[in-house]
Structure 1
Amino acid sequence: MTLNVAIVGTGIFARDAHLPALEKSEYFTPYSCFNRTKPKAVTFAKNAKISKIYDNMEEAFEDPKVDIVDALLPVQFNLDAVKLAVKHKKNICLEKPIAANLEQAEQIVKLYRENPDILIAINEHWLYFKAVNALKDAISKIGKVYSFTYHSTGPFHFDNKYLVTSWRQKPQHIGGYLSDGGVHQLALLTGVLGNVKKVNAHTNQIRKLSGTDDILYSLFELESGVIGTYTYGSVFGNTDKKCFFMIMGDNGTIYLDFSPSQPEKITLRVGGASPDSETYTKEIVIEDENRTPLTEFNVLGEALTNGDNSVILATPEATFHHLAIVDAALKSSAQGGATVEVQKA
């Protein structure tokens, strides 16, 4: 017995990412759909072999045959969708970031806390990366962690299919590209090292098509006291896509290279805590990383099937924090790089 999914918002990502993942999942069946432009819903339904199309969004939440609503909306409408889920006691997952701003995100967190009987999750699938657990395991071998460098930069692609969407060209969500893609990066960073306490940042805009600032250079202080840099922006001219995460301790270092041009791997270098400490280098290849939504859908399916939501990592509280880091960075940049504390939910 599989769970029926109502897909609300049938755009590019629903077609190219969510639908294939739902079809592969052992837990779910695409059951129904809605789009505010009905011809788009009709086309999606035909490709997905869906026979039920709603005339308005609330019908998806009213339908007793729907087990969960998969909402792929411009994020300024996420709060409205969560309110409908609460009204009709319907499970829901939402596309990232959690909301357009922290005020909306706070309301989603509040509804989540007040309604523990409903599954409310955000689709930040980087929290489920195999690299997260591999890095956590490696950290246990490098002594006390003091600092990190997180770097993700690359060229601008004019043929990016997502550029045509108006909600990306004229973003209503804070940070635009910096939050839309950045929350994934921050999910990986905080998933390994924990939450961010303070931010000093500078941002700038390179591409008009980004709609707002699209590069971020910053210094983070974590709740643990660890300090490090976070650099993000794939809008430059001709250059290689470079993605790496380096973690430094008093007994070694860890270097994750997740640049797309080569196999993803961790280089673990152990030693240095004392003159006679054991020293060695080990490479750990991350095979078949969970880069599609399939893993997170399987986690959602497991939670709904077993009635145990504790397996869900991408909770409103966790994803609020990722958006709050972006918010703090933008505020810091507006103040010339001043120190800004990350708001708590």
Structure 2
Amino acid sequence: MSSNTPLNIAVVGTGIFATDTHLPTIKTIPSLKVSAAFNRTKSKAEAFAEKAGIDKSNVYDTLEQAFEDDKIDFVDALLPVQYNLDAVKLAVKNNKPIAFEKPIAANLAQAKEIVKLAESTDLPILVLENWAYLKAISIIKDEVLPKIGEVLSFTYRATGAWNDNNKYLATPWRQNPEHVGGFLSDGGVHQLALLTEVLGEVESVSALTRQVKEESGTDDILFSTFKLKSKAIGTFTYGSAFGATDKSTSFTIYGTAGSVVYDWSPSLKTPTITYQTGPSSERASPKTVIEIANGDTIAEEFKNFAAAVAAKDKSIVNVSPAKAFHHFAIVVAAIESSKNNGSSVKVESP
């Protein structure tokens, strides 16, 4: 394939997110082209194809056809997560790179099988957790953390009010989730991708959860304490099922020689990274504030995957199934901990 020829993508699962986000994002990337589509309800795939400018002959009748089509360079799968394993099996069987939506699977057994499949092949396989592409991650990790000494603790908070107009509320797989954690894992893996990219893996979790809204299908708020493999300890709070309150998203990290706060709450005009150094309040430096735009993280993940597919190099992929397994396993541990009155639960490995 010429370097000037765009990679042809088959989109499988042509629902709201595929139509409203993936399609317009891919159209902004010259190296990519949506060329085929599949949906279990064929009329929905045909409507998507019309918006994408795809000929109806490239609307498949079966999921298998997307992976068998030699004209397709990779598959973009936006399926209910209980079907992710089936899609990855088809990808490996047909030697077709695949990017698929988070969380990685409906349960840890499925997730472990996906990790094993990914490790058995040289195919690029990406789990679409776009928060791993936030520009703030490299700034905090590479530029700021070295200035604040040993990381001792952290506070991660992502909370907000219930949104009656959330367009995903009527989606059956969200109202009646087959995947562990429901909304907590669906959105929580994004938060955990950010946290672990900066501070490393989580060793154990003590958590309490509750279901506030019937529409959530299962527990939808989480308050927890983490112990990291680095021995740092901290709190992780997540949920958007509360009554009227400002939406707050912030990540504070405390070190032996300073601290850093990343705040990307919607009320801010521009997200900020604020840090100060010094071993005590009497010997503290002035605060340094860095304004940092988050950028288009979904475009960045597609560019990342396109580079991996073009180079046939799975090591380029930013969020491998093994990484995504860890993010999901943290939520599973939190759910288990809550069922046991907040007792400490070790996060499983693949």
| TM-score calculated relative to the size of structure 2 | 0.96
1:158 to 161, 164, 170: 164
1:244-301: CA deviation from partner (whole Å, max 9, x where unpaired): 00000011110011101112001111112696x56231001112x1344110000111
1:108 to 114, 127, 150: 114
2:38 to 34, 41, 51: 34
Check whether the contact 1:143–1:273 (CA below 8 A) recurs between aligned residues.
no
Q: 1:220, 1:278 → 2: CA distance?
A: 28
Q: 2:311, 2:94 → 1: CA distance?
A: 21
1:134 is aligned to 2:117: no
1:322 is aligned to 2:327: yes
1:84-114: CA deviation from partner (whole Å, max 9, x where unpaired): 1111111101000000110000000000001
1:317-342: CA deviation from partner (whole Å, max 9, x where unpaired): 00000000001000100000001000
Query: Structure 2: where are the runs of 5+ without partners?
Result: none
Query: Structure 1: where are the runs of 5+ without partners?
Result: none
- Name 1:264's counterpart in structure 2: 271
1:61 is aligned to 2:71: no
Q: 1:181, 1:85 → 2: CA distance?
A: 25
Check whether the contact 2:276–2:284 (CA below 8 A) recurs between aligned residues.
no
- Name 1:285's counterpart in structure 2: 291
Compared CA separation, residues 311 and 280, structure 1 to 2 (3 A): farther
- Name 2:6's counterpart in structure 1: 2
1:303 to 300, 305, 308: 308
Q: 1:307, 1:131 → 2: CA distance?
A: 28
Q: 1:146, 1:198 → 2: CA distance?
A: 16
1:214-259: CA deviation from partner (whole Å, max 9, x where unpaired): 0000000000000000000011011100110000001111001110
- Secondary structure in structure 1 of the residue aligned to 2:22: helix
1:313 is aligned to 2:326: no
- Name 2:87's counterpart in structure 1: 81
User: Per-residue deviation at 1:344?
Assistant: 0.5
1:331 is aligned to 2:336: yes
User: Per-residue deviation at 1:311?
Assistant: 2.4
1:131-178: CA deviation from partner (whole Å, max 9, x where unpaired): 111111211110111000000000000110011100000000000000
| TM-score calculated relative to the size of structure 1 | 0.97
1:193 to 182, 193, 199: 199
4+ residue segments displaced more than 3 Å: none
Percent identical across equivalent pairs?
A: 51
Q: 2:102, 2:286 → 1: CA distance?
A: 40
- Name 1:49's counterpart in structure 2: 53
What count of residue pairs does the alignment treat as equivalent? Answer: 342
Check whether the contact 2:99–2:126 (CA below 8 A) recurs between aligned residues.
yes
1:34-57: CA deviation from partner (whole Å, max 9, x where unpaired): 000011011100001011100011
User: Per-residue deviation at 1:310?
Assistant: 2.2
Check whether the contact 1:70–1:93 (CA below 8 A) recurs between aligned residues.
yes
1:236 to 236, 242, 267: 242
- Name 2:214's counterpart in structure 1: 208
Instruction: Give RMSD over aligned pairs.
Output: 1.2
